[in-house]
Amino acid sequence: TLDEMIKKGTRLATLLHVFNLREGFEPNDFVMPRRAAGDPQFTVGPFANRTMDFENLKKQYYDAMGFEIATGAIKKGRLAELGLDSLVK
């Protein structure tokens, strides 16, 4: 079902995040190339004359995923909610 697919995708993204945390990555390590964010702005196409606020998008993603924006830590209870608590010590 759609709900199962969303939960599996969330579990997979969380596992990737756990791996990145273990390897020492922090939220500030994840940046978008300036050009991809529209700097300089595109002149044609659906994104013409637009830029993206990547930091705001990252904050929204971290909030939705249950990650702390300042540290990248996973919020208490989130791993158990996803059935992943046995994988992390």
Contact (Cβ atoms closer than 8 angstroms) between residue 72 and residue 61: no
| pLDDT tens-place string over residues 48-70 | 888 888 999 999 999 999 999 99
Model pLDDT, residue 20: 94
Q: What is the mean pLDDT of residues 3-13?
A: 95
Query: Which residue carries 């909610």 as its tokens?
Result: 81
Q: How many CA atoms, within 13 angstroms, populate the side-chain half-sphere of residue 21?
A: 16
Please tell me the pTM assigned to this model. 0.81
